[in-house]
A and B are shown apart, each in its own frame.
Chain A
Amino acid sequence: MSKQAKAGQVADEQPMRTGAQCIIDGLVGAGCEVLFGYPGGAVLDIFNCLYEAPLHFVLTRHEQGAVHMADGYARATGKAGCCLVTSGPGATNTVTGLATAYMDGIPLVCITGQVPLHLIGNDAFQEADVIGITRPVTKHNFLVRTADELPEIIAKAFYIATTGKPGPVVIDVPKNIQKQMTARRAPDAVEMRAYHPDVEADPAAVARLAELINQSQRPLLYVGGGAVNGDASAALAALARRANIPVTTTLMAMGVFPEDDPLSVRMLGMHGSVAANYAVDHCDLLISVGARFDDRVTGKISAFAPRAVIEHIDIDRSSIGKSVRADVGVQGYAKPVLEALLPLVREARHDEWLEQVGRWKDRFPFTYTQRAGEIMPQFVIEKIYEVSKGQALVTTDVGQHQMWATQYFRYTKPRQFISSGGLGTMGFGLPATIGAQLGRPDALAVCVTGDGGVQMNFQELVVAVERQLPIVVVILNNGYLGMVRQWQELFYGHRYSGVMLGQTERRPNEHVAERPVYLPDFVKMAEAHGACACRVTRSEEVAPALEKAFGSGQTWVIECIVSPEANVFPMIPPGAHVAEMINRTV
C-alpha cells in the first residue's frame, strides 16, 4: 500500500494560524475567486477572516441560492464553485443544491459551520448532522476534528471535487476548530491511497472499439456531460468528422458538438429530436461518451438501441453497464480516449446512413403551430436565438420551458447551456445564471424560466442587480406548472390538479379568492428588486423587448404571457419505446 499524504510534517517553522484563516487561505490557494454564502453563528470566525480576504464574496439571500450560484459558476467556467454557510438550517438549506450538483457531476466545495466539537450529538442550538444528511448527495464529505488537519482537508476537497467524475464535497467545520491554532500547511501535492481518479484507458479496449467503428455501417455518437467535464469537444468533432458519424447529445452536453453541424442530430430522449431517437433505434453501433443512460434518455431499457453494439466510454466505472448493457466498456476521461481512438479509426463516408438520418431530420424538425393572438413559448426561444445571434449562454429552470430551450435554440459551444439535468431542480435557473455570469462576465446570460420555477429563488435577483449583472430573465408565463399540466392532460385525462398558478377557475378544493390579475405581478416584483422589467403580451413585442434588454447592460426581467396550454412535442412517454412517440404540432 502506498504512502499517506505527508501533510503537516513540513510545517514546523511556519507561523501559527487559526482554523478560520486556514480555510480562507485554502480557498484562495485553490484558486477560488468568488465565494457564495450566508453567515451565521457557527461561521463567524470564518467571516471575520473573510473581511480582508482577496476574494469576492457574494452574499446570497438564501443558502440554496448560494449553492446553485456556485454550481452555475462551475458549469460556466469548469472550475470548482465554492460556498460557505452556517450550521443547522444554513447547512440543511444547501441539500437540494448539493444533490443537484451531485447528480450532474459538478465540482463544488461547500464549507458548513458546525457546533463546537464537544457539543456535537447534544442537540445543541443550530446543530444538524450535516455529515449524515449530506452523505448520499455528495461525492465525499469531511468532519474536521482538529485545525491541524484542516489545510490538508481543503486541498483534498478540491482535488476530489474536480477529478474523476466531478462532484460536490462538503467540509463541516466545528466552531472551536475555527478558533484553534495550527502551524500546519497544505501539502504540495495531494495524495490519497484510496482515491485514484485518473485512469488511463486500456489500449486493447480502445483498439477493439476502433475496430468496431471501422466495421460499423451505422454508427452513432451519444454524448453526455462527461464530454463537457472532460473538455472533449475538439476531440469529439475530429472523430465524428473523420468517420462521418452523426452525433446526438444529452441535456448535459448541449453544444459540445455544434448543433448547426450537418452531423448533429441534436438532443435525444423523451423530448429529443425524432432524428436522434430514430438514429438510436436504427444504429448498429452506439458510442456513448460520458453519458449515463438516464431513463429520460432510454425510455424502455429493453428496447433501447435494439440493433446496436453498445459501447461506453466513461471515467466512472460504475456508470459503465449500469442500466444498459455495455458490449465494450472503456474507462477513461473522454478526451484522451477519443484522441487515442482517432488515429485507429479509418476515414469513412457512411453515405447511406447519413442520407437516412438526413431524411429524418428534414421530415421531422421541431415544429409548432402558431395560435392566433397568443405568444407561443417556442417562438420566444426562437427569438432569443435570433436576437442573440445564437450567442446567448442559456440557463433554465425545469419544465416545459427547459425542453423548448433545447429544441428551438441551436447550441454550438460547450458550456453554452446550463440546466439541472439529473435532479431536475426547479429554482435552479436564476441563481445559476448569476453564478454563470460572474464566472463569465462577457457572456450574454439569459435565464429561460417558468412562472413556477422562477418563484422558487426569485429573491436572488437582488444579487444580480447589486452587481449590475446584465443577465436577462425571460419568464414564460403560462399560468400553469406547465410540464405537470402536460402530463395530466396526456396521461390523466385532462384532470388538472394542483397545477394552476393563476387565481381564477380553480377547482373547488383549490379555490382561492379570485383576482382579476395574475399574482404575483412579476414586473412589479422585478422592479421592487431593482431590476428593469416589462411584460410582453404580443408576438411582435418579443424581439424588441429582447433587443432592448440584451443591449442594456442592466438586469432585466421580461415576462412573456404565453399560450397557456402549449405542449412539448415530440414526447416519448415515460418507459416507452420510440415507436410510441407522440408527435403533434400543438
Chain B
Amino acid sequence: MKHIINCLVENQPGVLARIVGLISGRGYNIETLNVGPTADPTVSKMTIVVPGDAHVIEQVTHQLSKQVDVIEVVNMTNRRHLNRELILVRVAVGDHQHRAEVVDLASLFMARVVAVQEDSVTVQMVGNQETVDDFLRLLKHYAIVDISRSGVIAVGREAGENGGK
C-alpha cells in the first residue's frame, strides 16, 4: 500500500538530500516527492509517497522523525486528509475520432485540454491519488507520448495536523 507522509523540515540546504538518502539508503522506494515552502519561511514541507507495508512505513516514519532537521512527521494516510496531484499528459491522436475520445475522457475527469496539435492533445488534470490513477489507467488505451506529474501533496482536514504551529 502507498502511504503519504508529510514532513515539516528546517528550510536548510542539505535537508532534502538527507531525507532522500535516508530513505533510499535503507532500501525503501520513493514514488513521488514534493517540497515547497510553508507560511513560515524557515520551514519547508515535504510530501513523500512511499509504497510499503505497515512495518516499512513505521520504520520510515521513525527514521525520518529522528533526523535532527525534521520538525514533524505525519503519516497522512492514517488521518482525514485531502491530497492532490497535478499531471500534464500528451497523448498521440491519429484522427479526429481519436481526439474526440480523449477529449471526452478528459472532460469526464474534469481535466482540461491545454494544448492541441495535429497529432496530439495535451491534458492537464488535477485530482486525488485515486482519480489520477483511474484517469491514467483509462488513458493507457491511447498512446501517451509524454507525461509529467507534480507528485502528491496533502493537507490534514483538521487543525493541528501538520499545519506547522
Name the residue on A nearest B18 (C-beta): A135
> Contacts A160-B68, A316-B66 hold; do A143 and B18 have CB atoms under 8 A apart?
no
Among B9, B58, B69, point to the contact of A321 (Cβ < 8 A): B58
A132 CA / B16 CA spacing, docked (Å) = 11
User: DSSP majority for the A interface?
Assistant: loop
A164 to B8, CA, bound (A): 21
When C-beta atoms are compared, the residue in chain B nearest to A131 turns out to be B14
Residue of B nearest to A136 (CB): B25
B40 A1 Cβ-Cβ under 8 A? yes
B17 and A132 within 8 A (CB)? yes
Q: If A316-B66, A318-B59, A322-B59 touch, does A194 touch B71 (CB 8 Å cutoff)?
A: yes
Establish whether residues B68 and A1, one from each chain, have CB atoms under 8 Å apart when the complex forms.
no
Interface string of B1-24 (1 = CB under 8 A from A): 000000001100110011001100
Q: Do A194 and B59 touch (CB < 8 A)?
A: no
In the complex, the chain A residue whose C-beta lies closest to that of B24 is A136
Given A135-B18, A321-B58, the answer on whether A1 and B71 have CB atoms closer than 8 Å is yes
Q: Assess whether A317 is interfacial by the CB under 8 Å rule.
A: yes
Q: What is the chain A residue whose CB lies nearest that of B13?
A: A143
A192 at interface by CB-CB < 8 Å: yes
Distance in Å from the Cβ of B122 to the closest Cβ of chain A?
A: 36
Q: Is residue A415 contacting chain B, with contact meaning CB distance below 8 A?
A: no
Contacts of A317 in B (CB 8 A): 62, 65-66
The answer to whether the Cβ of A4 comes within 8 Å of any Cβ in the partner chain is yes
Q: With an 8 A cutoff between CB atoms, is B70 at the interface?
A: yes
Given contacts A132-B17, A135-B21, A136-B21, contact A194 B58 (CB under 8 A): no
| Min C-beta distance of B50 to chain A, whole Å | 15
Judge whether B17 and A135 touch: CB under 8 Å: yes
| B136: min CB distance to chain A, Å | 34
Say yes or no: is B148 at the interface (Cβ < 8 Å to chain A). no
In the assembled complex, A363 has its CB within 8 A of some CB on chain B:
no
- The residue of chain A having its C-beta at the shortest distance from the C-beta of B9 within the complex is A194
Q: Which of A209-244 contact B (CB under 8 A)?
A: none
Which residues of chain A come closer than 8 Å to B52, judged between CB atoms?
A: none
Q: Do A140 and B68 touch (CB < 8 A)?
A: yes
Is the CB of A485 closer than 8 A to any CB of chain B?
A: no
A136-178 Cβ-contact flags toward B at 8 Å (1 or 0): 1001110100000000000000001000100000000000000
Q: Is the interface of B mostly helix, strand, loop or mixed?
A: mixed
Residue of A nearest to B71 (CB): A194
In the assembled complex, A515 has its CB within 8 A of some CB on chain B: no
Q: How far is the CA of A164 from the CA of B71 in the complex (A)?
A: 16
Q: Is A195 an interface residue (CB 8 A)?
A: yes
Within 8 A of A (CB), among B33-61: 40, 42-43, 55, 58-59
Closest to B22 in A: A136
CB distance from A406 to the nearest CB of B (A): 29
- Per-position contact with B for A418-458: 1 when CB-CB < 8 Å, else 0? 00000000000000000000000000000000000000000
Q: How many A-B residue pairs have CB under 8 A?
A: 47
- The 0/1 profile, CB within 8 Å of A marked 1, for residues 21-32 of chain B is 110010000000
**Most interface-central of A1, A140, A160 (chain B CB within 10 A):** A1
Min CB gap A401→B, angstroms: 31
Q: Does B21 lie within 8 Å of A139, measured CB to CB?
A: no
Across the interface, which residues of B come within 8 angstroms of A136, CB to CB?
Answer: 21-22, 25
- With both beta carbons as reference points, the residue of chain A lying nearest to B61 in the complex is identified as A318
* Set of chain B residues within 8 Å of A135, measured between Cβ atoms: 14, 17-18, 21
CA distance A476 to B115 in the complex (A): 76
Q: Does A193 contact B (CB under 8 A)?
A: yes
Complex contacts, A143 vs chain B, CB 8 Å: 13-14
B131 sits at the interface (CB 8 A): no
| CB-CB nearest in chain A for B43 | A1
Provide the B57-88 mask, 1 if CB < 8 A to any CB of A, else 0.
01100110111111100000000000000000
Partner of A192, one of B21, B22, B40, B68: B68
- The residues of B that contact A1 with a CB separation of less than 8 Å are 40, 43, 71, 164-165
Q: Output the nearest chain A residue to B70 by Cβ-Cβ distance.
A: A194
Cβ contact within 8 Å between A318 and B62:
yes
Residue on B with the closest CB to A132? Answer: B17
Smallest Cβ-Cβ distance to A145: which chain B residue:
B13
A318 touches B63 (CB 8 A): yes
Which residues from chain B contact A316 at a C-beta distance below 8 Å? 66
Tell me how far the C-beta of B57 lies from the nearest C-beta in chain A, rounded to whole angstroms.
Answer: 12
Residues of B within 8 A of A321 (CB): 55, 58
Taken together as a complex, chains A and B put the C-alpha atoms of A139 and B18 apart, in Å, by 11
The distance in angstroms between the C-alpha atoms of A141 and B12, with both chains bound, is 12
Chain A residue with Cβ nearest B10: A194
For this complex, 10 residue pairs linking A to B, each with C-beta atoms less than 8 Å apart, are A1-B43, A135-B21, A136-B22, A136-B25, A140-B68, A141-B14, A194-B9, A194-B70, A318-B66, A322-B59
Which A positions have Cβ atoms within 8 angstroms of B?
A: 1, 4, 131-132, 135-136, 139-141, 143, 160, 164, 192-195, 316-318, 320-322
In order of increasing CB-CB distance, the 6 nearest A-B pairs are A318-B62, A194-B71, A140-B68, A195-B68, A317-B62, A318-B63
Given contacts A1-B71, A135-B14, 13 further A-B contacts (CB under 8 A): A135-B17, A136-B21, A139-B68, A140-B67, A140-B68, A160-B68, A193-B71, A194-B10, A194-B69, A318-B59, A318-B63, A318-B66, A320-B62
